[in-house]
Copies of this chain bind each other. A is one copy, B any other.
Amino acid sequence: MCFLFVILIVIVIEVMVFLMILLHPEIIITMDHDARVLKNYWIGIENGEITYIGREKPAGGEEVIELPNRIIIPGLIDSHTHVAMTLLRGLKDDADLMDWLQNYILPMEMRLKPDDVYYGALYGIGELISSGVTTFMDMYYHEIEIAKAVVDSGVRAVLSWGSADVFFQRSPEEEFKIAKRFEQDLNALKRNKGAEDRLFYAYGPHSPYGCTRELLELFKDKSNETGTRIHIHLAETESEFKDIREKTGKTPIEYLDSIGFLSDKVMAAHVVWVAEKEFSILRERGVHVLHNPISNLKLASGIAPIPKMLENGINVALATDGPASNNRLDMFREMHVAAIIHKGFTRDPKTVPAKTVLEMATIRAAKALGLDKYIGSIEVGKKADLVVLNLRNGTQGTPLHDPYSMIVYSLDKSFVESVMINGEWVYFNGEYTKIDIEETRERVQNIRERLMREAGIT
């Protein structure tokens, strides 16, 4: 009996080790160092990793999938969002920021229970996956619920607790302790669920205006000590820019720099309000910028000077922001807007070209999140996070001239046919394999109705 059991385990392990998935798409956009675009190559996947890329079909391959008319791209990375805010999507659009925030968003958020956040996140992750996102970075509270949704859905994520001692009127130490507790809970969950390669932690001091200087310094010191990355909102609105200048005599970027906060561990979302002299600060400190063009336009924050950042060699990643301010979790729509807005605004049709935009959604984002050893490109040894685009899913996939241009200007999320994360199909031929999306939708509906009722919003 025991002997049979051992044999069984050996067989299972052998199958796991040797079970090779082989994909044979028409085009592979690798986003590797040489920006190789490969026609009619094979990709081999074993144990969640890419183990083969080549012209010849390798021996083995238990799951062999021919993919004519398909482009495979690296999984997209949404580098800044608040994924559970699907619950609040479209709650009050076309409104002043403060009216929206204080009279609609906050009264609903105050009433969120852990379960609400779990289902809001699961729904949002479903939305991300179906638009080709395989990794996202989040900042919210009840964040352990989001971690559970990450575990259950098969996605990869960097999670941060939104720390804001100013907003919550807590001491910096208390606020830091809460973040620390989340980190411990996350570590326990990772171990228990064997999700060490899908769950990552970052500090999440909300913003220069949501945190005291003491709290910012606490996170900075701990980051220097442990190497933990820091996820922050920075220079998003003009009012932030003015308020910080009034309070400190410095711009938000100068202020953070003056307290030694900025480093290559800092992942700064938005960065719309940048003075000319600040590009060199961002470059020299190695700060990563997370660009949210749709949210910045819709909330009338402004237009981040991305062309100048790129010229200055600053690493820029792309992001959706939360679905309450977007209103989608859709990196295809984000790529499109990122590609057109800076052309129109600078009046240079060659700025922020399609290939750069796809980099901002893949390899540059991986670099921003400190995960470029594992994800962000299709290379042997990297995690198998892959998106299969079927050019026949709509008229827009024809004719094909340049694949980068096709992806950024012509396609949309409806061309995402299948999504693999860590070697596992989490979305296959347009169907979720791990999320019951209809049940989740039902729950989201009910939660939203309860919150509206409780908050007295009609």
Residues in chain A within 8 A of chain B (CB atoms): 86-87, 89-97, 100, 123-124, 126-127, 130, 238, 294, 296-303, 326-328, 330, 333, 336-337, 339-341, 343-351, 353-354, 392, 394-396, 398-402, 405-406, 409-410, 412-414, 437, 441, 444-445, 448
Contacts and interface: CB of A to CB of B under 8 A. Distances in A.
Contacts of A92: 401-402
Interface residue SS majority, chain A: helix
A296 B345 CA distance: 10
Contacts of A91: 401
A409 B130 contact: no
8 contacts: A89-B401, A90-B409, A123-B398, A300-B351, A328-B409, A330-B412, A392-B441, A399-B445
Contacts of A330: 396, 412
Given A327-B396, A399-B448, A90 B441 contact: no
A344 B410 contact: no
Query: Residue among A124, A353, A396 with the most chain B CB within 10 A?
Result: A396
A318 to B, nearest CB: 16
Contacts of A392: 441
B130 A300 contact: no
A158 to B, nearest CB: 22
A95 B294 contact: no
A154 to B, nearest CB: 16
A319 to B, nearest CB: 15
A237 B85 CA distance: 40
A94 B353 contact: yes
B328 A89 contact: no
Contact of A349 (B298, B348, B395, B414): B298
A428 to B, nearest CB: 17
B298 A93 contact: no
B395 A86 contact: yes
Nearest to A297: B344
A296 B344 contact: yes
A90 B410 contact: yes
A299 B395 CA distance: 22
Q: Which of A97, A123, A298, A348 has the most CB of B within 10 A?
A: A298
Given A91-B401, A354-B94, A300 B349 contact: yes
Contacts of A303: 344-345
Contacts of A347: 238, 300-302
A91 B409 CA distance: 11
A339 B328 CA distance: 14
Contacts of A350: 94-96
A18 B21 CA distance: 59
B409 A327 contact: yes
A349 B398 contact: no
Contact of A123 (B127, B327, B336, B395): B395
Nearest to A393: B414
Given A89-B399, A396-B328, A405 B94 contact: yes
A353 to B, nearest CB: 4
A341 B349 CA distance: 17
A453 to B, nearest CB: 13
Nearest to A96: B349
A298 B95 CA distance: 28
A454 to B, nearest CB: 15
A360 B86 CA distance: 28
Contact of A90 (B326, B402, B437): B402
Most chain B CB atoms below 10 A, which of A302, A328, A398, A445 = A398
A215 B238 CA distance: 50
A93 B300 contact: no
Contact of A410 (B327, B346, B354): B327
Given A89-B399, A93-B353, A399-B448, 18 more contacts: A86-B399, A90-B400, A90-B409, A92-B401, A93-B402, A94-B350, A123-B395, A127-B394, A297-B340, A297-B344, A298-B340, A303-B344, A326-B409, A327-B405, A328-B410, A341-B341, A398-B444, A399-B444
